[in-house]
Structure 1
């Protein structure tokens, strides 16, 4: 089973909207080496895993796959924040919907010249399951061979390529919202590389001679260095409520990154940060729940409670 805590795994720093940066981040969400790919690949590998004696490897893959669900949520929310109010719309609830924004600005003008127009036409200023070119995410990206060394090697390549692309995304924008998420994912990709590299080492695979992890010098990025100084690149969470994960049998010892740190899989999950719902977007004709809808919802709830009271008696409050 999976449980959802209504928190984001990392803080998204507020900044101005940036639809071009949002579209770049779509590659990190729905691209061939994006977070939707890692999430689905690891979960399918863990679901299809065979061999009870190899449980620590299953638990490692499963734990990373579970974390990737939160990465999909994080990067998707970041894309929405980068699009939200682009350009800043100063309309009010009593404005006619066809009234341009303050100062005569056209509310969705940026959709014609920057980023992905589908973010506005289809997504109502929200993330979509596509890459930066607008191609839909494909299940054909998922690699699940059933052979443990092959899967681990492919996972290492996937994390290394994803980190490489995110380093490029970082250098495409100085937007604080984008960089706060990109930097976090760069460091967590390295943590996952370390896990798969260590797993391959336990199987006698000399991965360093076969697949050198790309050198990106990402530690020069201020936001990345702050996280590296906290040792976040050498931690892997279990996301296991009952303490049954055996991933720590693999995720231990000196880090394969050769940065002098020790791998640590003792934590269940990161602390997280509050998750807030974005404001309504009037210019997208997506105002949320107006008074009439709220009244209808309350009336429906009252009818349902009346049925429950009639069948089981009044519910104590």
Structure 2
């Protein structure tokens, strides 16, 4: 059972629209090694987990990381939408029907023909989609769930390593602050999850360190990443356990599996997060939200309910 808190797990730094950067981030959302796969893979491993008793901490670990991945899907999808739709610095007209976002032109969707993924405008009304960077739909066949704990944990470590590798590449593709703020956060959390799965494998006697993680070098040369690492974000795992019954902390304790001098820690709760803002209406996409008549009906209904309840 899951609950939704109306806060983003990390701040999205405002910058100008960048549809090309948004399309690169689609790989990190709906690609073979993206956030939709990590979310579904870890949750299905949790749902299908067999064994209780001494095995329970490993199930709880998978549940905790899988639940966090839901928030990563939300974060990266929201970032893509802001990069396509515009940003808090948007300087176009909110009333002119033929205004091009951030450009003041007369052809509102012309950027769709020259930047990024045309489906963001043609199909998605300036929002994220469950596809990769070339438009291939996300597939459930990406999910690996063998039923063998060691195999599943190895695949998860490989998945986090590959995801971090791709996000490091995305970081170097764009200087857009909106894109980089989200990519940097996900790089750090991917590294934290690599640590989690490596530590779990070590507790099962598996010598994983001769091959993984990949890339071998940390991304500390990225200033945004270093800031987050300095805050200890790479060493902590949130368990998202509302009833405090998670036993994953039995595994995730002591020295980091990376042998970098840091110590692992767990938190039964969730990150504090930041306020979650709703995207503005986009009349040029014929996605205006609620029309005036419907708003009046909602207001009248609300007033009537207040009178009744009073």
Report the TM range for the smaller structure's normalisation.
Answer: over 0.9
1:8 alignment counterpart: 8
Structure 2 segments unaligned to the other structure (5+ residues): none
Q: Which residue of 1 aligns with 2:309?
A: 316
* Contact kept? 2:158, 2:213, Cα under 8 Å: no
Runs of at least 5 residues in structure 1 that lack an aligned partner in the other structure: none
Secondary structure at the counterpart of residue 208 of structure 1? coil
Tell whether the 8 Å contact from 2:195 to 2:257 is kept in structure 1 after alignment. Answer: yes
> How many pairs are equivalent?
306
Tell me the equivalent position of 1:272: 273
Change (3 A) 1:104 1:16: closer
Asked if 1 retains the 8 angstrom alpha-carbon contact of 2:32 and 2:142, the reply is yes
Q: Quick one: distance in 2 between partners of 1:214 and 1:85?
A: 33
Counterparts of 2:264 and 2:135, CA distance in 1: 38
2:185 matched to 1:168?
A: no
Structure with bigger gyration radius: 1
How many Å separate the matches in 2 of 1:21 and 1:268? 32
Displacement, 1:177?
0.3
1:76 matched to 2:77: yes
The answer on whether the counterparts of 2:75 and 2:182 sit within 8 Å (CA) in structure 1 is yes
- The answer to whether the 8 A contact 1:15-1:177 is kept is yes
In structure 2, relative to structure 1, the CA distance for the partners of 1:131 and 1:298 (3 Å cut) is same
TM-score normalised by the chain length of structure 2: 0.93
Q: Is 1:34 matched up with 2:28?
A: no
The answer to whether the 8 Å contact 1:89/1:107 transfers is no
Deviation at 1:89, TM superposition (A): 7.0
Equivalent position of 2:237 in the other structure:
236
Could you tell me which residue of structure 1 aligns to residue 199 of structure 2? 198
Cα distance between partner residues in 2 of 1:220 and 1:231: 16
Report if the CA contact (8 A) 1:85-1:281 is conserved.
Answer: no
Superposition deviation, residue 316 in structure 1: 2.9
Determine if contact 2:92/2:104 at 8 Å carries over to the other structure: no
Normalization by structure 1: what TM-score? 0.91
Cα gap change, 1:104 to 1:211, in 2 (>3 Å): closer
Q: Secondary structure at the match of 1:264?
A: strand
Instruction: Check conservation: 1:89, 1:283, Cα contact below 8 A.
Output: no
